[in-house]
Structure 1
Amino acid sequence: MRVVIGEDQVLMREGLRLVLEQAGFTIAGVAEDAPTLVQLARELRPDLVLADIRMPPGLADDGLRAVLSLRAERPELPVIVLSQHMQRRYASELLESGEQSVGYLLKQRIADLDTFIGDMHRVVGGGTVLDPVVVAAMIGRPRAGDPLAGLTGRQREVLALMAEGRSNAAIAELLHIEEKSVVRHASHVYAQLGIEESRQGHRRVLAVVQYLSQ
């Protein structure tokens, strides 16, 4: 798998390069700023773009803007954006950039290398990955009158895993229940939240995240 990395902090950039090369990935290019990231991704056409949200020149959300511009040109391009801090709007904006192959992860996720590499493969394979910390913050504690308050504990677990981008089969395995039970719980979640049901991975993640971001 050929990867282009966008990261301005040298220790993080070189650390990512090292661990990914050791894991068998090919680092096709590295960029220290957002314009260079866009240029490299256009020229090299990697299998995956891995980018920090905050990059020069603006050190705001320049990395995210670069990724979104690349997705506008090539909607099927697999991308993962990394963030130091959780921002729900970034997750929503990224998920709206295309039908599949997107990930939004906090940087501490990299410490669990096996999970991080698994996330990369899921995104390249067309999946959607959302950091569990982001999902937990979105779900939070339901307020009075909030439809989330009407969900059972199990339904909230299913909702969280759906928002992370997990398939029904994966949710069933993680919760040690049958897949048909996951389908039933998911249907209750959709009905309770008043969102359109979809079994297509990215579309259902987007529907859930859009609701949670309101």
Structure 2
Amino acid sequence: MIDVALADDHFLVREGTRRLLEESGRVRVVASVSDGAQLLEAVGRLAPDAVIVDIRMPPTHRMEGIETARAIRARHPRTGVVVLSQHASALYALELFRDGTDGLGYLLKERVGELDDLLGALTQVIDGGSVIDPIIVEALLQRQTSPSDRQLERLTGREREVLAAMAAGNSNSSIAGMLFLSQSAVEKHINSIFAKLDLAPEATGTHRRVAAVLAFLRADSLSE
């Protein structure tokens, strides 16, 4: 069982998410609150495995969820955090991952209805991994890059497909099956992506798979 704390200022959304998670038989919702301050208090008191937090909550309904997520990761590094948003915003994702990617996920709210995706994200952040909603990645990959985005222009079509699958949290073996490639071919594509995006060899606490996606996010935000 995964112990989860929820935060969303809309009661019906919060209650619906709680029911969905608990009916899966894999999650126990230990707290269900309406703002970031209450969530922080609950995490300190109950030490859940993970939290799910809406990106916009009182008092300003801007980025309270992101601020709360960063505070939880700083104070309780063993607690994974999944931030939910109604908007496929590159800027939100960049802000969330500004100080690191470990144990953080950014999903669109529609994923709540896709239980396997949400449970998969919770599992990944609890394990210290990172998740970015594939819809966000797909939208960015389909956009035409600007002339200044020379790094992005280097990627082949196949490398873009591999990157989208990486961002969805798929392992190398899963990507191989999805794209009908050998695992060695997938590894070569991933190494090529890292090289073309000038991502240095992985340092402690850094997820190059997510960093590759963030390279697209940064370029997209600069072009807006």
Which TM-score applies when normalising by structure 1?
Answer: 0.90
Greater mean alpha carbon deviation, residues 82-91 or residues 143-152: 143-152
CA distance in structure 2 between the aligned counterparts of 1:190 and 1:197, rounded to whole angstroms: 9
Which residue number corresponds to residue 7 of structure 2?
6
The answer to whether structure 1 residue 207 and structure 2 residue 208 are counterparts is no
Contact 2:194 2:208 in 1 (8 A): no
* 124, 136, 150: which one aligns with 2:154: 150
Which residue number corresponds to residue 93 of structure 2?
91
The answer to whether structure 1 residue 179 and structure 2 residue 183 are counterparts is yes
Which residue number corresponds to residue 56 of structure 1?
58
* 100, 103, 126: which one aligns with 2:102: 100
- Please report how far the alpha carbon of residue 153 of structure 1 lies from its aligned counterpart in structure 2 after TM superposition: 1.2
Task: Give the number of aligned pairs.
Answer: 214
Greater mean alpha carbon deviation, residues 109-118 or residues 179-188: 109-118
- Please report how far the alpha carbon of residue 51 of structure 1 lies from its aligned counterpart in structure 2 after TM superposition: 0.4
From the superposition, tell whether residues 107 and 99 of structure 1 become closer, same or farther in structure 2 (CA, over 3 Å): closer
- Please report how far the alpha carbon of residue 141 of structure 1 lies from its aligned counterpart in structure 2 after TM superposition: 2.1
* Superposed CA offset, 1:47-99 (max 9, x none): 11100010112211112111111111122320100001012122223234445
Aligned with 2:32: secondary structure? strand
Which residue number corresponds to residue 22 of structure 1?
23
CA distance in structure 2 between the aligned counterparts of 1:89 and 1:156, rounded to whole angstroms: 21
* 93, 107, 110: which one aligns with 2:112: 110
From the superposition, tell whether residues 189 and 87 of structure 1 become closer, same or farther in structure 2 (CA, over 3 Å): same
Which TM-score applies when normalising by structure 2?
Answer: 0.86
- Please report how far the alpha carbon of residue 133 of structure 1 lies from its aligned counterpart in structure 2 after TM superposition: 1.4
* 135, 139, 144: which one aligns with 1:141: 144
Aligned with 1:104: secondary structure? strand
Q: Which runs of 5+ in 1 are unaligned?
A: none
CA distance in structure 2 between the aligned counterparts of 1:163 and 1:202, rounded to whole angstroms: 15
> Which consecutive aligned stretches of 4+ in structure 1 deviate over 6 angstroms post-superposition?
none
Aligned with 2:107: secondary structure? strand
CA distance in structure 2 between the aligned counterparts of 1:202 and 1:18, rounded to whole angstroms: 34
Contact 1:71 1:98 in 2 (8 A): no
Contact 1:127 1:202 in 2 (8 A): no
Aligned with 2:118: secondary structure? helix
* 24, 35, 38: which one aligns with 2:37: 35
RMSD of aligned Cα (Å): 2.1
Contact 2:163 2:213 in 1 (8 A): no
Which residue number corresponds to residue 125 of structure 1?
127
Which residue number corresponds to residue 167 of structure 1?
171
* Superposed CA offset, 1:91-118 (max 9, x none): 2232344452221000011222222222
Contact 1:3 1:29 in 2 (8 A): yes
- Please report how far the alpha carbon of residue 190 of structure 1 lies from its aligned counterpart in structure 2 after TM superposition: 1.9
Letter in 2 for 1:6: A
Matches within 5 A, 1:69-84: 69-84=71-86
Contact 1:71 1:97 in 2 (8 A): no
CA distance in structure 1 between the aligned counterparts of 2:54 and 2:101, rounded to whole angstroms: 21
Contact 1:105 1:130 in 2 (8 A): yes
Q: Which runs of 5+ in 2 are unaligned?
A: 220-224
